[in-house]
Amino acid sequence: MLEAIVALPTDMFYNTGIATYVWILSNTKAAERKGKVQLINATDLSDKMRKSLGSKRKYLTEDSIDAIVRQYGAFKETETSKLFDTQAFGYRRITVERPLQLAFYPKDETRLAVLQADKGWARLDESLQQAILDALPRFEEDKTLSRDTFKKWLKVHMDGEKLPAPAFKLLQKHLGEHDDQAEVCRTKGQPEPNPDLRDNENVPLGEDIQAYFAREVTPHVPDAWIDESKKDEQDGQVGIVGYEIPFNRHFYQYVPPRPLEEIDADLDQVSREIMGLLAEVHA
């Protein structure tokens, strides 16, 4: 239904100075507009008001409005009018997961102090607290790169005291830390994702997500995978469909910087003015 979007100048309305856009919708598109979207850049088509009204400092003249309408009606590519396929702005946002790899530090005094200051620790039975605190110093090493090993060793040295899941989760939170050299943590044989390393990728609509992933993600993080449970509600495919219209990118015009000679001349002039002011102060 979207036929065109017109970017208006800033400072057009009383209560805001931000950029605003007019969206033109139609459920009876002309044949040449079907499957297309027109972007019109009218940000330079404005005159300044003689007197500001709040944030409103600019307005569109009748000539400017007429120029916008003509561009819309012409439906052609120009410097201020661009035509795109409707899918050009669409993407599928996929969730990229990486495995949880934890190193545990059972004898780290700072970590142990933070553990015991946690509110969750206070809710544990005193007997369980003591069993954990007695078991941790018995580790042979200051660091272990396997969660399974840490858990098994802890249970062995807790003198028969059971280790509930909430208690171990608390230990993992304070004594565990991501380490690329650590063993991958698994549940039912499958690698657990690390929420701190979770990321998203926007795959252009129409592109195969697996091909995109192999090209853009795997070479940089070979242990990553796509969370295929995150699917779009409308079509049921992997990846949440979204749209982004980067207006400035499509109408960007490069403006070369001033020559260095001009900049140096300005700096010299400013330096002379500063020296003159300092001379007046000392005089």
Cα gap 158→175, rounded to integer Å: 17
| Structure confidence by residue, pLDDT tens digits, 29-87 | 999 999 999 999 999 888 888 888 888 888 889 999 999 999 999 999 999 999 999 88
Last residue of a domain, one of 141, 173, 191: 191
Same domain, 68 and 8: yes
Residue 14 token pair: 């009383």
Q: What residue numbers bound the domain in which 32 lies?
A: 2-76
Residue 160 has pLDDT above 80, yes or no: yes
pLDDT score, position 279: 86
> How many domains does one find in the chain?
2
Residue 213 lies in a domain: no
Q: How many CA atoms lie within 13 A of 36 on its CB side?
A: 16
Residue 271 lies in a domain: no
Q: In which band, very low, low, confident or very high, does the pLDDT at 274 lie, cut at 50, 70 and 90?
A: very high
Least confident piece of the model among 41-50, 122-131, 171-180, 208-217? 41-50
Residue 203 lies in a domain: no
Q: How many CA atoms lie within 13 A of 114 on its CB side?
A: 14
Same domain, 107 and 165: yes
Same domain, 72 and 128: no
Residue 196 lies in a domain: no
Mean pLDDT of the chain: 92
Last residue of a domain, one of 191, 218, 239: 191
Q: Which residues of 209-231 are buried (b: 16+ CB within 10 A; e: fewer)?
A: beebbeeebeeeeeebbbeeeee
Rg (CA), the chain: 31
Could you count the other beta carbons within 10 Å of the beta carbon of residue 195?
Answer: 9
DSSP classification of residue 189: T
Same domain, 184 and 118: yes
First CA to last CA distance, the chain: 73
Could you count the other beta carbons within 10 Å of the beta carbon of residue 192?
Answer: 16
Residue entry with tokens 């998203």: 200
Last residue of a domain, one of 137, 165, 191: 191
The contacts of residue 24 (CB under 8 Å, 6+ apart) are: 2, 3, 4, 5, 6, 72
User: Which bin fits 255, alpha (ψ -120 to 50), beta or left (φ > 0)?
Assistant: beta
